[in-house]
Amino acid sequence: MIHRGKRDILGVGISVVDYEGAAAQVIEAAQARLPLAVSALAVHGVMTGVLDPEHRYRLNRFGLVVPDGQPVRWALRWLHGEVLPDRVTGPQLTVEIFRRAADLGLSIFLFGSRAEVLDAMRARLAVEFPSLRIAGAEPSAFRQLSESENRALDQRIRASGADIVLVGLGCPRQEVFAYEHAEALARPTIAVGAAYDYYAGRLSRAPQWVQSAGLEWVVRLLQEPRRLWKRYLLLNPLYLTLLARQKLGLLHPEAERAPSQELRYG
C-alpha cells in the first residue's frame, strides 16, 4: 500500500497514493464517520485549480486528491521523484470502494448525474455487488441550489444513514460540492468524475494500452468532441508548458484565496 502524503503539481497538492492506499483512507474515514473530501484529478482537473485561485484553495483543502491521468502521475515522478505503479482513476477507485463497502457492510449514497444513469448503476450493482447497501440515490438538479435546498439535501443524505457519498456532477462542480458539503455530511464525499457514465455503460473505456500511454483523452475527445475539445486541445499544451516552468523553478502562480461565496451546485 502506498500513501506518502501530497506533492505540489502547479500549485495543486496531489496525493502520492495507489488504489489500495486511497481506498483504505476512504474506508477508514467512513467507519469513523469523519468528513473526507476526495477527488480524482486528471490534467483538466489540475488546470481548473491552476487557472482559478479560489478553486485551487478548495482543492488544497481536500483530504485526498488522487492522480487520475498518466500525465499527472508522470509529473509526480518528473518533479518530485515519486514513482507510482499506476495512476488512480476515478472509475476504478469507485469500483474498489464498492467492493470494500460491500465486504464490510458499509452503505453508499449516489448523488448526481441523471435518473436513468443512476438506475442503470443500481441495476449493475445488484448483479456485481449484491451485498452492497445503497442507502439512497438522487439525480442532479442541474442548477445551483438555494441555501434551504442545500441544507435539505444534506439532511436527506445524513438521514439515509449512508457511510460514503459519491458525487457525479462533472468537473469542477463535483469538487465544489465535495468541498462545500463534506464537513456537514461528516462522511467521505467523493467526486468521481465520469465514473457514473462508465459504470452505467454510457461511455466505453479506452483499451488498456491507450490508457497506459496517456492517450485516453483522445478517446474521450472522439466520444464527446463538442463538449471536450477546449479541455484537451487548449489545456493539455498549457499544462505541459507550466510543468516545464515548475521544473525550471520559473513558475510563480497567483496565491490561492478562499472562495468569496458558496456555489451550492446540485
Question: What is the model's pTM?
Answer: 0.92
Q: Which residues of 61-96 are buried (b: 16+ CB within 10 A; e: fewer)?
A: ebbbbbbbbbbbbebbeebeebebeebbbbbbbbbb
pLDDT higher than 80, residue 215? no
The pLDDT value given to residue 211: 60
The pLDDT value given to residue 239: 95
In whole angstroms, what is the distance from residue 241 CA to residue 18 CA? 27
pLDDT digits (tens, 9 = 90+) for 41-61: 999 999 999 999 999 999 999
In whole angstroms, what is the distance from residue 74 CA to residue 79 CA? 9
Report residue 156's pLDDT band, with 50, 70 and 90 as the boundaries.
very high
Domains of the chain are: 3-193 (3.40.50)
| The Cα angle at residue 71 between residues 66 and 76, in degrees rounded to 5 | 60
pLDDT > 90 in the chain, percent: 74
In whole angstroms, what is the distance from residue 36 CA to residue 38 CA? 6
The pLDDT value given to residue 210: 53
Residues 6+ apart with CB under 8 A from 204: 198, 219, 223
pLDDT higher than 90, residue 199? no
In whole angstroms, what is the distance from residue 167 CA to residue 254 CA? 29
Of the listed ranges 63-67, 168-172, 197-201, 242-246, the one predicted with least confidence: 197-201
